[in-house]
């Protein structure tokens, strides 16, 4: 999530009641979680297991619960509860704003775009030219829809990220992290009926130009999908995943979080991956393997009773 303008790290430290260690003249440009941080960002860490990863990431500012060594050009904001501090900053710069109209007065809708009845368009949404938004679609705050986009009935764009802090030292074990990101849908995208595309928890969820979704597709938070991808019905993509250009995911494919699917890869129906896969190959199975390997294994599995009978007959 980018701040409207650079924010003094000294002000941020005072706002969250943190001890500032480092250059207090620096300014932060945004706040992000670890998978999407960029230079100028603020990130939080509250477990020693992840100290090195956060401190040596692209982030310039680290909200942390213990003073430790850090590279030159960065600064620490030391506080007892980094997670609560992070949430306080996100909620300050991205507060909840109610909307009582089906189409918000702050929404911007382009020329020749048709919106069917019973569609909700939230605050600060931008929809481009020549789009068709079908009935009962929900487009929540701050989302951006490009030109020539079609969204079928019942789809939700910009629902909250499924992202919870699971530390067990508090009364509520799972505390929700506020979603400060957006959904950005590029030109010539088509979204089927009853799809859900979660907004980024801090970065943006992005659907690339020309990509097409069938019905009941779910896209997790902060996922970036490339151009001209094709997703069949009931595809599930976990958060912070990167899917390159030209990928095809057939029905009921499941992609675990924080993975990369290479350019022009094809995953056949009901496949699932738990690790990144290379591009320009076809995969099958759960866990998915290259299709030629998976099919050979299926043949051998079918032959197990025959082979077992030969062993027992000896």
pLDDT at 303 over 90: no
The arithmetic mean of pLDDT across residues 73-99, rounded, is: 94
Domains of the chain in sequence order:
2-93 (3.40.1390.10), 108-294 (2.160.10.10)
Active-site pick, 35, 148, 203, 221:
221
Q: Which two tokens stand for residue 92?
A: 């300050």
Taking residue 311's Cβ as centre, other Cβ atoms within 10 Å add up to 7
E strand or H helix at 271: none
Q: Which two tokens stand for residue 187?
A: 């030109």
What's the pLDDT at 310? 76
Q: Among candidates 29, 26, 25, which has minimal Cα distance to 5?
A: 29
At residue 305 the predicted structure's pLDDT band, cuts being 50, 70 and 90, is: confident
Sequence-distant (6+) residues with CB within 8 A of 265 are: 244, 247, 248, 277, 278, 279, 280, 281, 282, 283
Q: Which two tokens stand for residue 135?
A: 């009935």
**Residue 65 near residue 46, CB atoms below 8 Å:** yes
What's the pLDDT at 168? 58
Could you tell me the pTM of the whole model? 0.91
At residue 120 the predicted structure's pLDDT band, cuts being 50, 70 and 90, is: very high
E strand or H helix at 51: helix 51-55
CA dihedral over 129, 131, 135, 137, signed as positive or negative: negative
DSSP letter assigned to residue 277: B
Query: Distance (Å, rounded) from C-alpha 140 to C-alpha 245?
Result: 26
E strand or H helix at 157: strand 156-159
Q: Which two tokens stand for residue 224?
A: 């970036």
**Mean pLDDT, the chain, as a whole number?**
93
Pairing of strands 126-127, 108-109: parallel
Lowest mean pLDDT among 83-97, 206-220, 294-308: 294-308
To 5 degrees, how large is the angle CA 83–CA 89–CA 91? 100
Taking residue 14's Cβ as centre, other Cβ atoms within 10 Å add up to 11
Span 215-265, pLDDT tens digits:
999 999 999 999 999 999 999 999 999 999 999 999 999 999 999 999 999
Which residues partner with 113 through β-bridges?
A: none
- Helix, strand, or coil (residue 202): coil
What's the pLDDT at 174? 84
**Cis omega (within 30 of 0) for bond into 287:** yes
What's the pLDDT at 170? 57
The arithmetic mean of pLDDT across residues 267-275, rounded, is: 96
Span 166-207, pLDDT tens digits:
765 555 678 889 999 999 999 999 999 999 999 999 899 999
**Residue 166 near residue 174, CB atoms below 8 Å:** yes
DSSP assignments along 99-118, one per residue:
--SSB-TT-EE-TT-EE-TT
What's the pLDDT at 167? 66
**Residue 239 near residue 223, CB atoms below 8 Å:** yes
Look up 221 and say whether it is catalytic. Answer: yes
* Inter-axis angle of helices 304-313 and 291-302, nearest 10: 40
pLDDT at 134 over 70: yes
Tell me the C-alpha to C-alpha distance, in Å, between residue 308 and each of 26, 139, 305: 70, 57, 5
Taking residue 170's Cβ as centre, other Cβ atoms within 10 Å add up to 12
Which strands sit side by side in the sheet containing 196-198, from one edge to the other? 120-121, 138-139, 156-159, 196-198, 218-219, 236-237, 254-255, 272-273
Query: Distance (Å, rounded) from C-alpha 1 to C-alpha 86?
Result: 12
């Amino acid at each position: 999530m980018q701040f409207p303008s650079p924010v003094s790290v000294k002000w941020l430290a005072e706002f969250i009641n943190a001890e500032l260690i480092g250059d207090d003249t620096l300014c932060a440009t945004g706040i992000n979680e670890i998978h999407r941080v960029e230079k100028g960002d603020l990130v939080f860490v509250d477990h020693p297991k992840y100290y090195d990863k956060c401190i040596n990431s692209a982030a310039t500012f680290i909200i942390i619960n213990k003073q430790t060594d850090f590279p030159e050009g960065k600064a620490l904001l030391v506080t007892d509860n980094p997670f609560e501090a992070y949430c306080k900053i996100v909620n300050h710069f991205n507060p909840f704003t109610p909307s009582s109209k089906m189409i918000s007065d702050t929404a911007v809708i382009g020329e020749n775009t048709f919106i069917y009845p019973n569609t909700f368009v939230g605050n600060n949404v931008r929809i481009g030219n020549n789009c068709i938004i079908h009935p009962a679609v929900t487009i929540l705050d701050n989302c951006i829809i490009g030109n020539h986009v079609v969204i079928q009935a019942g789809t939700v764009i910009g629902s909250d990220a499924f992202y919870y802090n699971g530390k067990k030292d508090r009364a509520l074990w799972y505390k929700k992290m506020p979603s400060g990101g957006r959904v950005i849908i590029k030109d010539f995208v088509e979204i089927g009926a009853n799809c859900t595309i979660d907004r980024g928890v801090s970065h943006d969820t992005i659907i690339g130009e020309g990509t097409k979704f069938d019905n009941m597709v779910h896209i997790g938070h902060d996922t970036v999908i490339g151009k001209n991808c094709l997703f069949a019905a009931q595809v599930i993509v976990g958060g912070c995943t990167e899917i390159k250009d030209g990928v095809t995911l057939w029905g009921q494919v499941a992609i675990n979080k924080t993975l990369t699917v290479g350019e022009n890869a094809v995953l056949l129906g009901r496949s699932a991956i738990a690790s990144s896969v290379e591009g320009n190959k076809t995969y099958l199975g759960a866990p998915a393997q290259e299709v030629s390997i998976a099919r050979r294994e299926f043949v051998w599995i079918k032959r197990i009773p025959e082979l077992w009978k030969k062993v027992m007959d000896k």
